[in-house]
Amino acid sequence: MVAQPLGVKLQAAAALHQQGQLDQAEVLYKEILQAQPRHFDALQLLATLAVQRNHAAQAMVLFELALKIHPANASVLSNRGSALLNLNRPQEALDSCDRALQVRPDYAEALSNRGNALWALKRPAEALQSFDHALKLKPDYAEALSNRGAALRALNRHAEALDSYDRALRIRPAFAQALNNRGAALQDLNRHAEALEDFGRADFAQGWQNYEWRWKRKLNQDKLRNFSQPLWLGKESLAGKTILLHAEQGLGDTLQFCRYARQVAALGARVVLEVQPALKTLLQDLEGVSLVLGRGERLPDVDYHCPLLSLPLAFKVDLGTISGEPYLHSDPDKRQAWQERLGPGRNKRIGLVWSGSTGHQNDHTRSLALTDIQGLLSEQADCYCLQKELRPADREALANTPGDHGGHQRGASGRGDGQRSVAAAGLQPGLALVA
């Protein structure tokens, strides 16, 4: 058989690459490099393919080899910036993009990658300028429009962000990232029904796959657990094995994703569940779980581990397979005790929580003040405050809200320490506090 010329083989590889046939393209690139290890185009295209596959470390090796051949190639420097950003090295990513723009100032892709680096460095105003510059050069650049929307959201310019996502989606109607980001912008604007539609249109399965990239973010590095046991993501058999499912984020995330424990147990596994200590009692009888531990307690020997928020990926969850079956249950004895404590009531009883942790990075967009919900209180229902953390403004508003607010009360921890919620039946219309 006559060997195919390298130029012809490169054209075939590039065509496969553009068609999304990455495996076939990779084989041809590597064949070219076996014949000619310093083949610049094969090096930089194989590096770009590695970036697309989220293999950033591999891409960096290939980019450096390419730059030894052509140190001032704008395309390589720009794509190298993307790889550096994926490795959580945003300042180096910015430097690489700036080098690309010194070579080619009108390079829209480098300007967009530069904006991404500025975004990662928490400089959204500068990132916006970079995205806008890219779009002047390439108005139909859907990725830049989507990322521009993210910068606008960070600047609290939510309506403009929505417009930017709309423009991206007119260019690429099935652009999953833009759909997801548009849903977030609609949430910002309190248009929740429309937000749900966008989230539903986004590629659900691919979303769970991409969510594994949360561990690459510097913000999450302190949450990464170093287990000697392998990570389980649904491939290995769990029959006769012990697996540790462990909480990784907030209390609400644990409560949402612990539902998959029974599906893990159904695969024949013994399930050990490690959660925040505050949730240990509530989840003690969770179906499918053999042992519940509070974080910090000694762990038993296990064969595998899996973070709770990786379980949807392991089970290939989609919108049609999310179970609505109840899985959390209160203690019957405690229910009886509270019924006796609160006494008979003529109205419906509604528990209210209006704010989360003040330490959450996105607290300003997800927490309300008590004054925001006071208009909801009526004589048609007995309302109880279930808030664990009372902020100073809420404490003042509560003092001016009709209802039985109790005297000196003890908090949920058993201490009168200022983060208190008190037990009392309500004087209506108003708000009572419940511990």
Q: What is the mean pLDDT of residues 329-355?
A: 85
pLDDT at 20: 79
Q: What is the mean pLDDT of residues 214-227?
A: 67
The model's pLDDT over 104-139, given as tens digits with 9 standing for 90+, comes to: 999 999 999 999 999 999 999 999 999 999 999 999
**Which region among 62-76, 106-120, 291-305, 383-397 has the lowest average model confidence (pLDDT)?**
383-397
- What is the rounded distance in angstroms from the CA atom of residue 230 to the CA atom of residue 56? 22
How confident is the prediction for the chain on average, in pLDDT? 85
Q: Is the pLDDT of residue 411 over 80?
A: no
Residue 209 token pair: 């796959």
Tell me whether the omega of the peptide bond preceding residue 429 falls within 30 degrees of 0, making it cis: yes
The model's pLDDT over 16-57, given as tens digits with 9 standing for 90+, comes to: 888 878 888 899 999 999 999 999 999 999 999 988 887 888
Q: Is the pLDDT of residue 402 over 80?
A: no
91 CB contacts (<8 Å, ≥6 apart)?
Answer: 117, 121
Give yes or no for a contact between 63 and 47, defined as CB atoms under 8 angstroms apart.
yes
Q: Is the dihedral of CA 21, 26, 29, 35 positive or negative?
A: negative
The model's pLDDT over 223-268, given as tens digits with 9 standing for 90+, comes to: 667 888 999 999 899 999 999 999 998 888 999 999 999 999 999 9
| Alpha-carbon distances, residue 293 vs 13, 162, 300 (angstroms) | 52, 43, 10
Q: Determine how many CB atoms are found less than 10 A away from the CB of residue 412.
A: 12
Residue 160 pLDDT class (50, 70, 90 cuts): very high
- What is the rounded distance in angstroms from the CA atom of residue 379 to the CA atom of residue 360? 34
Q: Which of 48, 119, 112, 132 is nearest to 83 (CA)?
A: 48
The model's pLDDT over 190-213, given as tens digits with 9 standing for 90+, comes to: 999 999 888 878 776 677 887 887
Q: Is the pLDDT of residue 148 over 70?
A: yes
pLDDT at 222: 58
Q: What is the 3-state secondary structure (H, E, C) of the chain?
A: CCCCCHHHHHHHHHHHHHCCCHHHHHHHHHHHHHHCCCCHHHHHHHHHHHHHCCCHHHHHHHHHHHHHHCCCCHHHHHHHHHHHHHCCCHHHHHHHHHHHHHHCCCCHHHHHHHHHHHHHCCCHHHHHHHHHHHHHHCCCCHHHHHHHHHHHHHCCCHHHHHHHHHHHHHHCCCCHHHHHHHHHHHHHCCCHHHHHHHHHHCCHHHHHHHHHHHHHCHHHHHHCCCCCCCECCCCCCCCCCEEEEECCCCHHHHHHHHHHHHHHHCCCCEEEEEECHHHCCCCCCCCCEEEEEECCCCCCCCCEEEEHHHHHHHCCCCCCCCCCCCCCCCCHHHHHHHHHHHCCCCCEEEEECCCCCCCCCCHHHHCCCHHHHHHHCCCCEEEEECCCCCCHHHHHHHHCCCCCCCCCCCCCCCCCCCCCCCCCCCCCCCCEECC
